Structure 1
C-alpha cells in the first residue's frame, strides 16, 4: 500500500497544531505548514479556526504573501470587501506577478456583480499562472453568472484542454450545451473528448444522457454500457441504464440494473421506486407495493413514493387504503399540493364531500390554480348547499380564466338558483358567446334552471 507522504505530513502538522492550542504552549511552524493547516480548516468550513491559524501564522511570518492571501480569502468570504481590497492593493505592490492577487480581486468584483471587470482580471491572471485550468474554470463561471452560455462553454472547454480530469468542468460544458439545447453538438464534443480519454466513465455517462434526451434509446444504452465497462461501480450509469430499459419496455432487465445499485451502495429511494414501477408494469402487484413501501420508508420526504402508493390503490379502486396513505403523506408534508389534490379526489370518490372540499381549498391556497381544481371545489360547495361560497370560488377562478365558458355557465346556474335573474342572464349570455355547445353543463348541473322558459329563450337566441 502506497502512502501519500505529503498528506501524512499535513496530518502531522494539524495534529501538532491542535495539540499546541490545547496546551497553550506556542510552537513554531513554517509558513507552508500554516498554509496547509488553514486550507484544511477552510475546506472543512471551520472559518473561526482558520482565522485563528492565519493570525498565528502572520505573527510568526509577518511578510508571508500566501498567508495574507488566505486572509483576503476569509475577508471576501465574510463580505468584508473593502478591507480585502486594501490588503490586495498592498500585495499587488509587493508581488505584481502573483496570479492569486488577480484571482482574489476578481472574486471581489464578482461578488459586486461586476463580472466583465472580473473576467478582465482573470485574463491577466492567465498570463502569470502555472495552472491555467483553474483560471479558465473561474472565467467560465463568470460568464455563467451573466447567462452567456456560449462563452462559458468555450472557457470550460479550455479548462478541459489544460486538465482533462477536471470533471466539474466537463459537467459545466454539458450544462451549457443542455441550456442551449445543443444535444447533437454535445455528443460530437464528447466523442472528441472520448477519442483522447476512451475510459472516461463520466463522458460516456453524459453521452448516454444526451442520446436519452434525443429519445435514441439504443444508442443511450450502448453509451451507459461503456460507462459501466469503464467503471463497474458507477451507480449513476446503472440507474440511467435502468431508465433506458424501462423506455424500451424491458422491465426485467431494468429491475436487474436497479438492483445492482442497491448492492453497490445503500438503497436509494429512486431505485426502489423504479423497481416498484417496473413490477407494476409487469403485473407483479405485490412486489410493486412492497417496493413502494420500502421507498417511503427509505425517504419519507420523497413525494413520488407516497404518490406511487396512493395511485396504486386508486387504480385498484381501493379508496380506503389510498386515503390512509395520502393522510400519512400529508402528516409528513402538509404543504405539498400534489398530496392535497389526491386527498380531495379520493374523498370525493368516497362521498366525503366536506373533506373533498377541504382538499381542493387547500390545493388552491398552496397555489394550484388549475381550472379543474376551481371547478371541482365550486361543484362540491354547490352540492353542500353553499351557493355563496361556490359563487365566490368561481369569481376567483375568473381572474385566472376570464374567457372560460365552464365557469360562466356555473355562475349563471347559481345566480338563477338564488333568483338573481339579472346576474344569471349576464353570465349565461357571456357563456353562450364563448362556447354555445357547453350549455350542456347547465343541463347536467342545474336541470331545473335549464328547463326554465326564460333560460330556454336566451339559449335559443344563440342557436345557429
Structure 2
C-alpha cells in the first residue's frame, strides 16, 4: 500500500513540475513515461483541458510517439470533440494498423457519442488482439454501464479487477452497478476472494469493507476496515470509511477519533473537519460543532455541507435569523438539495417570512417532487393560513406523483374535512385505510379534534383487521 502512496506522490511531484514550467512559460522537457503519467493524472481527475495541454507539449517533444497521438485522440473524445478525435485516431491507424489501442480509442469515441453497441464491438476487437489488459475490460464495463446494462458492466469490471485489483475507479463503478441491479449481496464473495488470495493486502480488505458497507453489513465492514488499518496504519481512506461506519451506528465519539486519523497529521481535509463538526452536532455539542464547521469553511469556502451544518446549529438554538443566513449560503452553493430548501423554508416560516417560506417549499418540491415532506410542510403552512383549498390542491398534486403514499391520503382527508367536503374526505380515508391502516393514527396526531367524530370512527372500525 505504501508503495502506491510513494508512486502517487512521485506522479503529483511530476505534475507540479509540469505546471510550474507551463506557468513560467519555460520549455517543458520530460521522459515519455512522465508525460504518460501527467496525462493519466489529468484524465482521471477529468481535467481534460490540462490533459490536452500535456498531450500537445509531449507531442512537440516526441512527435513520432503513437502512444501520445492515441492519448491526444482519447482526450479529445472526452472533451466531446469527436470529429478531431476520429481524425486523429484514423491517422494513427494508417501508421500502425495492428495497434490494439486504435480499436480501444474508437471504442472510447463511440462510448462518448452514445453509440454503445459499436463501442462494445470495438473493445471486444481490441481484447482479441492483445494479451489480457485491465483497461480494455474496464472500458467495456463503462460502455455497458453507460448503456444501462449493469449486469454486463459488472462482469467486465470484475474481469478488469482480477487483472488489476488496484483500480479504485473500477471498484467504485462495480459497486455502483451491483447496487443498481440489486446484486451486491450475492457478489460479496467476489471481494472476499481477494482477501483470501492475499490476506496481507490492505487494499483488498479496504475494498471488501466498502462492499460490506454498501450492502448495509456495517459490523462486517468495520472488521474489514480494521484489518486494512492493522496492515497499514496510515491508510487514510480506511480510517474515513471506518468513521462513516461508526456514524451509521450513531457511535459519534469513535467516529470523531477515526475522522481525525483520515488525513496526514497536521493537514486536515475540509471533508474530515465537516464530518467531525457533524458528529459534535449529533451530540448536541453546539460550540464544538460550529468550530469544526467553521474550520472546514476556512479551508474551502464552497463547502455547502459546512454552511448548512452551522445553519442547523443556529436553528437548534432557535436563532432563526442567523440560521437563514447560513441556509441561504448553502442553497446558493448547492441548489439541488431538498434538505437545504426544507430547512430554509422552516426557518423563514419561524420568523414569519411566509412569502419566502412558500418560495423555498416550491423549490424543495421542484427539486425533489417525490419527497413527501416538502408537500406536507408546505400544505400545513397554507392550512394554518386558513387556505384549505390551497392545501387540498397541493396534496392532490403530491398524490399524482406518489399515489401510494398513505400519509398524503390521510393529510388530504383532514384538509377535506376542514373544508367541509365530507363525501370526498370519506372516499379519501377509505383509500388511505386500504393502503396502510396503521397510519390512521397520523390523522389524530395532526388533528386531535377529529377523534370525537363518530362517522370517522365508524369508518375506521370497518377497516380494522
TM-score (norm 1): 0.68
Cα pair 2:308 2:330 within 8 Å, conserved:
no
Displacement after TM superposition at 1:51 (Å) = 4.7
For 1:161 and 1:461, locate their aligned partners in 2 and report how far apart those are by CA, in whole Å.
64
Cα pair 1:309 1:322 within 8 Å, conserved:
no
**Cα deviation digits, residues 61-90 of structure 1 (max 9, x gap):** 6xx755664564466456565676566556
Displacement after TM superposition at 1:324 (Å) = 1.4
1:327 to 325, 329, 335: 325
For 2:144 and 2:70, locate their aligned partners in 1 and report how far apart those are by CA, in whole Å.
25
Are 2:221 and 1:223 aligned?
no
Match of 1:188 in 2: 189
Match of 1:421 in 2: none
Match of 1:397 in 2: 395
Task: Flag the 1:269–1:392 CA change in 2: closer, same or farther, 3 A.
Answer: same
For 1:74 and 1:208, locate their aligned partners in 2 and report how far apart those are by CA, in whole Å.
33
User: Structure 2: which 5+ runs fail to align?
Assistant: 1-5, 43-48, 404-408, 434-439
Are 2:108 and 1:107 aligned?
yes
Task: Flag the 1:431–1:236 CA change in 2: closer, same or farther, 3 A.
Answer: same
Q: Looking at both structures, which has the greater relative contact order when contacts are Cα pairs under 8 Å and sequence separation is at least 6?
A: 2
Task: Flag the 1:358–1:281 CA change in 2: closer, same or farther, 3 A.
Answer: closer
For 1:81 and 1:427, locate their aligned partners in 2 and report how far apart those are by CA, in whole Å.
58
User: How is 1:273-352 mapped onto 2 (pairs within 5 angstroms)?
Assistant: 273-279=274-280, 284=285, 286-299=287-300, 301-312=302-313, 314-315=315-316, 318-319=317-318, 321-334=319-332, 335=335, 336-346=337-347, 348-349=349-350
Match of 2:415 in 1: 410
- In terms of Rg, which structure is larger? 1
Cα pair 1:306 1:325 within 8 Å, conserved:
no
Displacement after TM superposition at 1:376 (Å) = 4.7
Match of 2:147 in 1: 146
Displacement after TM superposition at 1:330 (Å) = 0.9
Cα pair 2:395 2:411 within 8 Å, conserved:
no
For 1:92 and 1:337, locate their aligned partners in 2 and report how far apart those are by CA, in whole Å.
50
User: SS state of the match for residue 141, structure 1?
Assistant: helix
Match of 2:233 in 1: 232
CA RMSD of aligned residues (A): 5.1
Displacement after TM superposition at 1:213 (Å) = 4.0
For 2:297 and 2:284, locate their aligned partners in 1 and report how far apart those are by CA, in whole Å.
21
User: Structure 1: which 5+ runs fail to align?
Assistant: 24-28, 417-423
Task: Flag the 1:198–1:173 CA change in 2: closer, same or farther, 3 A.
Answer: farther
Task: Flag the 1:445–1:296 CA change in 2: closer, same or farther, 3 A.
Answer: farther
**Cα deviation digits, residues 203-247 of structure 1 (max 9, x gap):** 211222333345544432221122113322222111222233345
Cα pair 1:107 1:118 within 8 Å, conserved:
yes
For 1:255 and 1:221, locate their aligned partners in 2 and report how far apart those are by CA, in whole Å.
15
TM-score (norm 2): 0.68
**Cα deviation digits, residues 90-143 of structure 1 (max 9, x gap):** 654654422222222333333443333333333333344356233232223223
Cα pair 1:347 1:353 within 8 Å, conserved:
yes
